[in-house]
Amino acid sequence: MNWHAVRAIYLFEMARTRRTLLQSVLAPVISTTLYFVVFGSAIGGYIPEVEGVSYGAFIVPGLIMLSLLTQSVSNASFAIFFPKFTRSIYELLSAPVSHFEIVLSYVGAAATKSVLLSLIILATASVFVPFRIEHPLWMLFFLVLTALTFSMLGFILGIWADNFEKLQLVPLLIITPLTFLGGSFYSIDMLPPAWQTVSLLNPVVYLVSAFRWSFYGSADVAVGVSLAMALLFLAVFVAIVMWMFRTGYRLKP
Amino acid sequence: MQTIISISELSKTYAGGFAALKQVSLDIRRGEIFALLGPNGAGKTTLISIVCGLVTPSTGRVTVDGHDIIDDYRAARAMIGLVPQELTTDAFESVWNTVSFSRGLFGKPARPGYIEQLLKDLSLWDKKDAKLMMLSGGMKRRVLIAKALSHEPRILFLDEPTAGVDVELRRDMWQLVRRLRDTGVTVILTTHYIEEAEEMADRVGVISKGALILVEEKAALMQKLGGKQLTLQLQTALQAIPPALARYGLRLAKGGAELIYAYDGEGEETAIVDLLQELSAVGIGFSDLHTTQRSLEDIFVSLVAEPASAPQRMGEVS
Ligand SMILES: Nc1ncnc2c1ncn2[C@@H]1O[C@H](COP(=O)(O)OP(=O)(O)OP(=O)(O)O)[C@@H](O)[C@H]1O
Ligand SMILES: [Mg+2]
């Protein structure tokens, strides 16, 4: 292992976050706060308890997932797209680093950022609504697993995208809708049966469900199934990244 | 001399079907300065990019100090520093950070004293905290050089180091290359300019349309490339060159209407005077004359068109 390289890339990426601290942290915190104010307090007051918890508390895991997913994807995709765009990626590609080391450092940094951000949002949420975390270790586990999985997806997106539009369109057209339809703000049980079935095709449903289970102990989908699905997504994304590197897809002519 | 980079039968056909390199074989010697000379699109950058791992070769094999660039890429790449042709830097980083980053990327533990000396050598020390986007083009190029040297490579690739660079930086660059060579670093540079090869290189390779058409010691090549020629428009066409003039190695063109004398750039001008006197002595009159220096372009054309003529002319000169 070229640990010096892993460390260099990781710290470089974290330094990039520090430079854009305001944009990286404040923006998601503000938007999440708005969600709490609007959904949790304003509208939530009219909604009865869902699965035994107040609506405000019910949406906490979903909201964290929402920003975890979008931040993971955008952090990781930008991290690899930008050097590709400026062509400074030549250095990475000519360095004595393995594909695994590249992925580990970039995806690791992106995941670190989004996990930290999620914890900040969690802290912010606790200001607005009281909630409990029944399985804190599982909560952290799902947080990290999801961050890694979607950072991986972001990494794929960053390699694939050959312009800024694609880089931004995919999260907008795919990730955000999937997250909103993934049960962030509602329980899948609230949907008509046909839509419940359709929902099961949405990968985000499993992540939100498992994450919410770690808070309140109840889930839309059995936790074991969610865990298996989450690991499956990770495996699929890892396979895609490895294929991209092996073939030099959009990296090496 | 020991070989440090061995390239054998390397070919590259890009995805579009364009053959950018054709069966290139080349050995770079340890510690030499090797100039790769060639016109735009010849395949210089492609060749360097393959050795550095930026482009996947179609066929062929490259080893760096015995390490295959694919099977043993870590060992091979750790020895190499690359200064790319284009100015490509991260915009928001500081000079110090980006150079230190490069060192880590190549697997070396931090060594601030070395980086400091490197930045001082490249006149970048007072800019160490400046953001890259605030630097001028020449400064950026220095930063790219600093990045390439940050991990103390044994081999340095400079892809057109002096393109768009002012005289002062060019001189600095040449000095730097010589200093590196003195410490045993092998330097491979590409250029369009014969003068640059002349100034710096120990050996020169000429590449054209993806094929390596000659590799030669600089001294020998310069005689060949530096040649001029005198063309005389004769008043009456000649059938053959009079034996009395044989020692000039003259050549007839345009069906005998032109007489061509090729000579070395330096020192042989006096021979022209002799030639003209001897011409009038044997009664050959001419209506006009002009001299031309063979441009690099001409040389490529002649090398590609009539490879056989190159060694012959060399023989004449030496
Ligand atoms: N990624 C690519 N895809 C397709 N063709 C390419 C690619 N990169 C280079 N080429 C083509 O390969 C040929 C050789 O290019 P290369 O950059 O190696 O030339 P060069 O000798 O470095 O030229 P220059 O002096 O202009 O830098 C050119 O015709 C170029 O258009
Ligand atoms: Mg080039």
Mutate to test the pocket of ligand 1, among B11, B44, B212, B300 (most ligand atoms within 8 A of CB): B44
C-alpha atoms less than 13 angstroms from C-alpha of A141 in its C-beta half-sphere? 13
Number of structural domains in chain A: 1
Using CA atoms, how far apart are residues B313 and B221, in angstroms rounded to an integer? 11
**Which of B88, B97, B108 is opposite residue A88, by nearest beta carbon?**
B88
Examine residue B134 and state whether it is found in any structural domain, yes or no: no
Question: Is A93 an interface residue toward B (CB < 8 Å)?
Answer: yes
Estimate the crossing angle of helix B95-105 against helix A3-19, to 10 degrees: 150
pLDDT of A14-50, one tens digit each? 988 887 777 777 887 888 888 888 877 777 777 777 7
Q: How far apart are the first and last CA of chain B?
A: 24
Using CA atoms, how far apart are residues B77 and B19, in angstroms rounded to an integer? 25
Examine residue B17 and state whether it is found in any structural domain, yes or no: yes
**Do B101 and A12 make contact, defined as CB atoms within 8 angstroms?**
yes
Q: Ligand 1 within 6 A of B14 CB?
A: yes
- Which structural domain, as residue segments, surrounds residue B158? 3-79+154-223+299-305
Written as one letter, the residue type at B188 is: I
> What separation in Å is there between the alpha carbon of A240 and the centre of ligand 1?
29
Number of structural domains in chain B: 2
Complete DSSP assignment for B94-113: BHHHHHHHHHHHTTPPP-HH
Do residue B8 and residue B75 come from a single domain? yes
> A-chain residues within 8 Å CB-CB of B52?
90, 94
Which residue do the tokens 């900040």 mark?
A120
**Which of B75, B86, B147 is opposite residue A91, by nearest beta carbon?**
B147
Examine residue B238 and state whether it is found in any structural domain, yes or no: yes
Look at residue B314 in the predicted model and tell me its pLDDT.
36
Look at residue B316 in the predicted model and tell me its pLDDT.
34
**Do A95 and B86 make contact, defined as CB atoms within 8 angstroms?**
no
Question: Is A95 an interface residue toward B (CB < 8 Å)?
Answer: yes
> What separation in Å is there between the alpha carbon of B47 and the centre of ligand 1?
10
Examine residue B311 and state whether it is found in any structural domain, yes or no: no
Nearest CA owner, ligand 1 atom 3: B14
Strands B228-234, B211-217: pairing kind: unpaired
> B-chain residues within 8 Å CB-CB of A8?
100-101, 103-105
Q: Ligand 1 within 6 A of B20 CB?
A: yes
Q: How many residues does chain B have?
A: 318
The pair of structure tokens assigned to B214 is 């000659």
Q: Specify whether the CB–CB gap between A70 and A147 falls below 8 A.
A: no
Nearest CA owner, ligand 1 atom 9: B46
Examine residue B96 and state whether it is found in any structural domain, yes or no: no
**Which of A4, A86, A95 is opposite residue B77, by nearest beta carbon?**
A95
Which residue do the tokens 């050097």 mark?
A83
The pair of structure tokens assigned to A101 is 């080391």
Which burial class, exposed, middle or buried, applies to B170 when counting CB atoms under 10 A from its CB (0-12, 13-18, 19+)? middle
Using CA atoms, how far apart are residues A2 and B106, in angstroms rounded to an integer? 8
Reported pTM: 0.83
**Do B53 and A93 make contact, defined as CB atoms within 8 angstroms?**
yes
Could you give the ipTM of this predicted complex? 0.88
Question: In the beta sheet, which residues pair with residue B59?
Answer: B11
Do residue B261 and residue B205 come from a single domain? no
CA-A253 nearest atom, ligand 1: 1
When mean pLDDT is compared across A98-112, A197-211, B4-18, the lowest value belongs to A197-211
Task: Map residue B159 onto helix, strand or coil.
Answer: strand
Look at residue B180 in the predicted model and tell me its pLDDT.
92
Using CA atoms, how far apart are residues A217 and A221, in angstroms rounded to an integer? 12
Nearest CA in chain B to A245: B56
Do residue B213 and residue B245 come from a single domain? no
SS3 content of chain B, % helix, strand, coil (to 5): 40, 30, 30
Strands B286-293, B211-217: pairing kind: unpaired
**Do A252 and B73 make contact, defined as CB atoms within 8 angstroms?**
no
pLDDT at A82 over 80: yes
Using CA atoms, how far apart are residues A107 and A10, in angstroms rounded to an integer? 9
Q: Ligand 1 within 6 A of B38 CB?
A: yes
Q: Measured in whole angstroms, how far is the alpha carbon of residue A213 from the centre of its chain?
A: 17
Average pLDDT, chain A: 88
Examine residue A252 and state whether it is found in any structural domain, yes or no: no
Do residue B214 and residue B267 come from a single domain? no
Which residue do the tokens 């000396």 mark?
B117
Do residue B166 and residue B277 come from a single domain? no
CA-B44 nearest atom, ligand 1: 21
Q: What count of CB pairs under 8 Å joins A to B?
A: 81
Nearest CA owner, ligand 1 atom 18: B43
Nearest CA owner, ligand 1 atom 29: B41
Low-confidence ranges of chain B (pLDDT < 50): 306-318
Q: Specify whether the CB–CB gap between B56 and B21 falls below 8 A.
A: no
Do residue B198 and residue B75 come from a single domain? yes
> What separation in Å is there between the alpha carbon of B209 and the centre of ligand 1?
10
- Residue B225: how many CB atoms within 10 A of its CB? 23
Q: How many helices (H) and strands (E) does chain B have?
A: 11, 14
Q: Specify whether the CB–CB gap between B126 and B97 falls below 8 A.
A: no
Q: What are phi and psi for residue A9, nearest 5 degrees?
A: -65, -45
Nearest CA owner, ligand 1 atom 11: B20
Look at residue B290 in the predicted model and tell me its pLDDT.
86
Q: Specify whether the CB–CB gap between A230 and A146 falls below 8 A.
A: yes
Q: How far apart are the first and last CA of chain A?
A: 26
Q: Which residue, B98, B32, B20, B103, is CA-closest to B57?
A: B20
**Do B75 and A96 make contact, defined as CB atoms within 8 angstroms?**
yes
Using CA atoms, how far apart are residues B249 and B251, in angstroms rounded to an integer? 7
Q: What's the whole-number mean pLDDT along residues A145-157? A: 95
Examine residue A10 and state whether it is found in any structural domain, yes or no: yes
Element containing residue B289 per DSSP (H, E)? strand B286-293
Which residue do the tokens 């023989």 mark?
B315
**Do A94 and B147 make contact, defined as CB atoms within 8 angstroms?**
no
Better-scored residue on pLDDT, A218 or B126? B126
Do residue B178 and residue B282 come from a single domain? no
C-alpha atoms less than 13 angstroms from C-alpha of A41 in its C-beta half-sphere? 12
Question: In the beta sheet, which residues pair with residue B63?
Answer: B6, B68
- Which structural domain, as residue segments, surrounds residue A234? 3-247
Question: Is A246 an interface residue toward B (CB < 8 Å)?
Answer: no
**Do A91 and B109 make contact, defined as CB atoms within 8 angstroms?**
no
Which residue do the tokens 């909630």 mark?
A131
Task: Map residue B313 onto helix, strand or coil.
Answer: helix
Q: Ligand 1 within 6 A of B73 CB?
A: no
HEC per residue, chain A: CCHHHHHHHHHHHHHHHHHCHHHHHHHHHHHHHHHHHHHHHHHHHHCCCECCECHHHHHHHHHHHHHHHHHHHHHHHHHHHHHHHHCCHHHHHHCCCCHHHHHHHHHHHHHHHHHHHHHHHHHHHHHHCCCCCCCHHHHHHHHHHHHHHHHHHHHHHHHHCCCHHHHHHHHHHHHHHHHHCCCCCCCHHHCCHHHHHHHCCCHHHHHHHHHHHHHHCCCCCCHHHHHHHHHHHHHHHHHHHHHHHHHCCCCCC
Do residue B74 and residue B173 come from a single domain? yes
Q: How far is A110 from chain B (nearest CA, A)?
A: 18
Look at residue B226 in the predicted model and tell me its pLDDT.
63
CATH value at residue B15: 3.40.50.300
For A40, residues 6+ apart whose C-beta sits below 8 A from its C-beta are A55, A56, A59, A128, A129
Q: Provide the percentage of residues in chain A whose pLDDT is more than 90.
A: 47
Among B105, B108, B159, most A C-beta atoms within 10 A, so best to mutate, is: B105
Nearest CA owner, ligand 1 atom 5: B14
**Do A252 and B102 make contact, defined as CB atoms within 8 angstroms?**
no
Using CA atoms, how far apart are residues A153 and A147, in angstroms rounded to an integer? 10
